[in-house]
Chains A and B, each alone.
Chain A
Amino acid sequence: MLDFIRNWIINITVVMIFIMLLETILPNSDMKRYVNVVVGLLIVVVIIQPLMLVKDISLQFNKNVLEATAFVQQGSVAAQAVDLNRYRKQEALQLFEARIKGEIGRLLEQEGIKNDNARIELELATDIDQQDFGRIRSVDIYLDGGDSSAIEVNKINVSISKVDDGDDNKSVMNKDNGEYNFSDNSLTSKLKNSISKALGVEESAVSIRAK
């Protein structure tokens, strides 16, 4: 009993000293009043400790404090979890996009097109709440760049056939409108086919344009 009273008095004294120190190092502001409320509650807790032991509800008190703390923190933790999940999905989407671009670049290189001359644009489903999140909606590949020799296309035959009405039916495929030539040649369809197979998307979702 004497030991308990001794501990109780030590507790009160030490808490008082702490609070005195706290008062001195606290910034001079309006905040002091609010700090005093918390400190006052702590002093009450320390003072009523013997009563808690008499009724043997000390454990109950600690349990209540922990439960209330968990309840208060629950909301912020849940919000953080949502943010973290969103961030994780965005990161995964970026990684996915980079991988797909790398894969397309590899396919283009297989066909002899340098990656420097190709600009790949992907349209992905970015809405995290939707079920089709991350689905590839379209793939646009723009082939251009300063080095025109990098874009190798099949040999183009220029055929000009004379028709009855006198007009020339020209399927003119000259160097000046290489874009038209390219979009029509077999390499384009071969690329489209291989990309759609590799990514598991429909061929219509893949478009290749050359400048």
Chain B
Amino acid sequence: MDIFKIVMIGIIAAVMAVILREEKPEIAMQVSLVTGLILFLFIISKLDSVITVLKYFAGKANIDILYFSTILKVIAIAYITEFGAQVCRDAGECAIASKIELAGKVLIMVLAIPILAALMDIMIKIVP
């Protein structure tokens, strides 16, 4: 099962990082970074199948592609931002991590702006 693989990779990497942190902290940081990347790529391949199924149902339910793509973009930004921020935090760079999070938030807001603008316009038109 995949979860065993993921957990094993995580535990081995954690043990290696703990051992290496005493001797070579920079290598320990690299170990955690590479492990994070491996796990992230592992999850991405699984997430891909979930998204394919969601797309199929969205097509079947006749959902507007605009809403669906926006939701997917939001999920992707949230995941990637979280990953980058966590890696930076592991490396002890909290300031950079918070900047990455800020960038993620701004990008999510940028996605929301067109919908917000159109919604405001419609509201004004609907209300007599």
Contact = CB atoms under 8 A, between A and B. Distances in A.
Given A27-B82, A31-B81, A52 B122 contact: yes
B67 A37 contact: no
A51 B63 contact: no
Given A10-B61, A61-B118, A46 B67 contact: yes
Among A26, A27, A60, A62, the most chain B Cβ lie within 10 Å of the Cβ of A27
Among B47, B108, B122, the most chain A Cβ lie within 10 Å of the Cβ of B122
Interface in A1-37: 7, 10-11, 14-15, 18-19, 21-22, 25-27, 29-32, 34-35, 37
B79 interface: yes
B108 A34 contact: yes
B78 A68 contact: no
Contacts of B101: 29-31
A22 B47 CA distance: 12
Among A7, A61, A67, the most chain B Cβ lie within 10 Å of the Cβ of A61
Interface string A173-187: 000000000000000
A38 B63 contact: no
A74 interface: no
A65 B66 contact: yes
Contacts of A60: 121-122, 125
A3 to B, nearest CB: 12
Contacts of B79: 27
A140 to B, nearest CB: 44
Contacts, number: 116
B95 interface: no
Given A14-B63, A45-B115, A31 B108 contact: yes
A30 B85 CA distance: 11
A57 B125 contact: yes
A48 B122 CA distance: 10
Contacts of A62: 66, 118
Interface of A: 7, 10-11, 14-15, 18-19, 21-22, 25-27, 29-32, 34-35, 37-39, 41-42, 44-46, 48, 51-52, 55, 57, 60-62, 64-69, 72
Interface of B: 47, 50, 54, 57-58, 61-63, 66-68, 70-71, 74-75, 78-79, 81-82, 85, 101, 104-105, 108-119, 121-122, 125-126
10 contacts: A22-B75, A34-B108, A37-B109, A42-B67, A48-B122, A51-B126, A60-B125, A62-B66, A65-B66, A66-B114
